[in-house]
């Protein structure tokens, strides 16, 4: 059988109560107790004044306690020292608004300085430049891997930030229309050249109607070849070119061999 459970409360629970009463009696033995007891001596009989405890008396009979005093923890008065409870204050960090008022613009400028150090591409597509590229112009994009692409510019997309500027070119490969998007500030793009301007400025910003056979310009290989010839300053034939120039050169070589 299990041991019976005692319902009586152990005497150890009265230790704190007795300690509190002892501390209050010691406090009342001072001058404050004399002053307080004198104000209520008329209400309490003479024979019961010695048996009255401060905890059983009204609160208005005593002056307010000192700052930081608690009767329940009267033995630990040093615990409420103001110097020990002082919380250090940390000054706020320096405002970044004063250092850089527009961080996004600063970041774009730093990236453009790396991607376009000369500023040639920025001037080519800047609206403030009177000689900037427009939709309908023929552009030549030179890539670092050697696969150059030339075509008519159908759209110049500028969104979010100048770094996201892109162009849509349309050309022909094996008599099949091909369109390609190119990022203007892409590290894979070595350079962008303006081959030929449109005779009359287009009245639209997106020339998607040039996809129809009626308005399609077709292949721009001949125009790009003539541009490269004039740029190099002579009637030079591009390596791997197929056309009248290559055939005429082969005929001259045959004639000189026969002689």
DSSP of 45-63, one letter per residue? -GGGGGG--GGGS-GGGSP
Question: Please, are residues 135 and 153 in contact by the beta-carbon 8 Å criterion?
Answer: yes
Phi, psi of 97 (to 5 degrees): -65, -35
Q: Are residues 181 and 227 in the same domain?
A: yes
Residue 196 in domain: yes
Domain carrying residue 146: 103-241
Are both 111 and 230 inside the same structural domain? yes
The answer to whether residues 38 and 114 belong to one domain is: no
In a domain, 5, yes or no: no
First to last CA, the chain: 133
Per-residue model confidence (pLDDT) at position 8: 57
Return the CATH number at 196.
2.30.30.790
The dihedral over CA atoms of 122, 128, 133, 134, expressed in degrees to the nearest 10, equals: 140
Instruction: Report the pLDDT value the prediction gives residue 69, as an integer from 0 to 100.
Output: 62
How many whole angstroms separate alpha carbon 75 and alpha carbon 71? 9
Decide: helix, strand or coil at residue 176: strand
Q: Do 174 and 68 fall within a single domain?
A: no
pLDDT the model gives residue 184: 94
Q: Which two tokens stand for residue 40?
A: 């209520």
Check whether residue 161 and residue 43 sit in a common domain.
no
The span from the CA of 17 to the CA of 224, in Å, is 104
Digitized pLDDT (tens) for each residue of the chain, 259 residues in all:
555 555 555 666 667 777 777 777 777 665 454 554 555 555 555 545 455 566 666 666 666 666 666 666 555 555 555 565 677 888 988 888 888 888 888 999 999 999 999 999 999 999 899 999 999 999 999 999 988 999 999 999 988 888 999 999 999 988 899 999 999 999 999 999 999 998 888 888 899 999 999 999 889 999 999 998 988 875 554 444 444 555 555 555 555 654 4
pLDDT at 103: 87
Q: What is the pLDDT of residue 152?
A: 94
- Please indicate, yes or no, whether residues 38 and 160 belong to a single structural domain of this protein: no
The encoded tokens of residue 257 equal: 């061999």
Handedness of CA 66, 68, 71, 76 (dihedral sign): negative
| Structural domain count of the chain | 2
| Rounded-to-integer distance, Cα 152 and Cα 167, Å | 10
**Cβ–Cβ under 8 Å, residues 152 and 133:** no
Q: Does residue 88 sit within a domain? A: no
Q: What's the rounded Cα separation, in Å, for the pair 53 and 164?
A: 84
For residues 66 and 113, state if they share a domain: no
From the list 63, 225, 11, the residue with the least C-alpha distance to 138 is 225
Q: Cα(200)–Cα(2) distance, rounded to whole angstroms? A: 108
DSSP string, 201-247: --S-S--GGGGSTTT-----HHHHHHHHHHHHTS-PPPTT--SHHHH
Tokens in use for 45? 């009989």
Assess whether 217 and 162 both reside in one domain: yes
- 195 within 8 A of 223, measured Cβ to Cβ: yes
Residue 79, classed as helix, strand or coil, is helix
Task: Indicate if 163 and 228 belong to the same structural domain.
Answer: yes
* Residue-level pLDDT at 100: 86
| Domain identity same for 71 and 111 | no
Report helix, strand or coil for 185: coil
């Amino acid at each position: 059988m299990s041991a019976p459970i005692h319902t009586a409360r152990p005497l150890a629970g009265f230790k704190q109560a007795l300690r509190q009463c002892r501390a209050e009696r010691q406090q009342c033995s001072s001058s404050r107790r004399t002053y307080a007891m004198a104000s209520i001596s008329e209400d309490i009989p003479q024979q019961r004044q010695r048996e009255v405890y401060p905890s059983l008396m009204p609160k208005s009979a005593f002056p307010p306690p000192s700052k930081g005093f608690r009767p329940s923890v009267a033995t630990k008065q040093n615990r409420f020292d103001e110097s020990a409870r002082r919380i250090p204050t940390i000054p706020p960090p320096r405002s970044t608004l004063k250092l850089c008022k527009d961080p996004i613009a600063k970041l774009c400028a730093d990236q453009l300085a790396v991607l376009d150090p000369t500023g040639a591409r920025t001037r080519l597509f800047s609206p403030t430049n009177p000689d900037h590229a427009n939709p309908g112009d023929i552009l030549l994009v030179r890539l670092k891997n050697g696969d150059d692409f030339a075509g008519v510019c159908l759209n110049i997309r500028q969104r979010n930030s100048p770094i996201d500027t892109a162009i849509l070119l349309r050309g022909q490969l094996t008599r099949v229309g091909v369109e390609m998007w190119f990022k203007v500030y892409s590290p894979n793009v070595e350079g962008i050249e303006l081959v030929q301007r449109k005779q009359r400025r287009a009245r639209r910003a997106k020339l998607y109607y040039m996809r129809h056979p009626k308005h399609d310009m077709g292949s721009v290989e001949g125009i790009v070849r003539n541009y490269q010839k004039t740029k190099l300053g002579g009637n030079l034939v591009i390596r791997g070119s197929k056309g009248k120039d290559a055939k005429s050169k082969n005929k001259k070589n045959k004639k000189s061999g026969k002689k």
